[in-house]
Structure 1
């Protein structure tokens, strides 16, 4: 997920002042914050809770303290935890490092040696916790912080089993047994370790986030693993850790030996500290600490400055790396600005041409205009919000919108590596992946060139299986020139395609979508 520069004067527990969103991911937001009581900066993690969850914040504190005693200096210090407004708010002492997901978003895949080193440090933490029968259960790149010249720091202990849902955060890193809502143990953490190792090597998770936790979990449980291409001698251990049956996953000692061999066989880079973004990020986080730890007057000024920057791009990436590619509720594409089909029932019905609109002017009742910091705006149905953001290389990103209890989704994808023929993008790049996805892909009608907002575009429509249901997707790809482009993908249950509300929503999206001016 990309950093969202959103300032706020909001406080948590009447004490911790939220300054800026540091990171967003599925069901979790991390904030830079300030503790006026101590004058020190801190990190506050906001985790969404299911209705009537009944989470005891003291559980998080006890679990973290227990593991911290077993693995000193490797577990982030939790100074407070409260349940407020349907969220669990966990307050961490400042961590002088950068989350692994942020490093990957900025740098892309790691070398094998670097990935093996991080995995070994994670394994040390898991070994200490598992020796006392403590399972993490929520491990993901967002829970792992890299530090220059020091071992990783892990957050998130105490969340597993705190509610009735199988996993609270990062469902694409859940183990299959979690996806089936079965009792979990250390093997679930080994699966997560394998998924993190896969992500470090391949630059994408082994199972993509499909926008809705339940759909993502079904994919983790049922879909086959795409063979890693960059793992080299680590391929066997990665595939072993990601076996669906927890009884078939390798023992920790076998994993440790395989990772250690990868370090020994490296050409000498293993003796160096984690390079690149970690050092840069350390300076950046140090700057944040200085900013947040100043007087409240300065904090107020800083918040105003941050608010002025919220229109800057988030630097997020290409969803092409989702695996396996599928036409699910949040379909993946190798080139984001891919084209799409008509919004009407029949493939031969012309797509609605856009008419000018000025933000909320002329919107259906309940709709609201959304201005994305990445550089686009669109009107969304009432109750809809940003569900997920997938980063990629070269400034590409995908943002998924939807609402709790609403099976429809809108995915907006941007790329700076789009071909010059909008029809060819769908035909040559996207459709072959959809055909190989195993999701019952079936194109509806032909791929048609069109003009959208005075620019070259193309439309394609298809149906597919997603999480046990049949869905229908309309896609429109828009070329901006210079290799840049957007794609809009509107997905609904196939049975609801002709519903007036869905038709109206698609028309409104196409009428109001606007890239930011160059």
Structure 2
């Protein structure tokens, strides 16, 4: 034991060993003798040369860390149990997260696959968004401050230099704190940072995860900060087609042009979702041998994939542009669709939309344009008693109107057109709420993303896409919410996952979107 080891704090926390040391603190393993659990205790340590002013600043910083962390409610935030004041200094009692730091994982195991990197980044982004809503900036997001638990849990630690809105008690020194490689350009220039500064640091952390090194590292703090402010980013080579533009967007030097949290969440979710689909399809292929495709088939598939990737990439970039277009900032300015989450297993959902960009119903799923009305065969135009019209395939049975929904069903597929005369403020925001409640309302819910879009002439529109389990079958849903003026609508498709990408269903969805005419 050291001179502090074995010490009892606050009459209940017995220090049993050192977990780690930093420049200003030591983290101890301790036993809570009152509740019989193992905890972590962060001790503030100061050398003898620290004057009273610096001592006060460090105490305030430590207390602020405890206060800031305790306010955040997220699985990726460490739970603060207690603060004990002894020896005229605070000791923070926290939950003990067993595992390694992300920096250790990268150093010991090498760069992470893009899907795992996206999973970790999603958790870090989630806790950052919770903090930002409380007016808290972390200001030191980096791999060494991200813990990967033995159970796979991701935890963002060390809010010790967090900036709390309205609290200037620790900003008077003018010190630039944080790791140079992960400090945003605006902070490096001495400008007042906002949430985009934390997103820059997240982008740097994401870069380090897939490349195995930070985006900027020139050997010294000054050289590194100069590079952050002035030098172009070395493009990532291992991030893949989705993470590469996201990382570049997060590491945009101008915070006004930097990718925002909603767009980042969208792409990260898509990377995770596509990784899950690939894993499942690989398992299926391994279990069920299939005939080898012919050379002509391989060429055709390759051509389709190239076009689909190019189109999908262009679509996903649009929501990130903050000047013009159908981004979320524009969508929030006009009345949007009122919404409520659908009940588990039901075919109904309300006209609204969510946070992550989903695949556009036609472009990303079919590289060929939808047929014009004159080319259509096998479709009929439905004139609803509610005043709208829509073309539906002949094989869909019209089940009529139930409540505020016109329902069509057949062969396991459902098309619902829903309406409201009292749309809310934002289609995107409504879908975001529905997406957050997805796991509560749909068994086996897996979000495939949401995005704001300009749907024909209606700028206040958004898509929400997901899969779930229904009566033992995996089904796929896409819900497009939009406002046409005084009415809000949702065009909502659900089909078995196995047939979702079939040519007939891809065309049917696109025809419904292209042909829809709202009530006057």
| Alignment TM-score, normalising by the size of structure 2 | 0.43
Higher Cα Rg: structure 1 or 2? Answer: 2
**Higher relative contact order by CA 8 Å / sep ≥ 6: 1 or 2?**
1
| TM-score (norm: length of structure 1) | 0.44
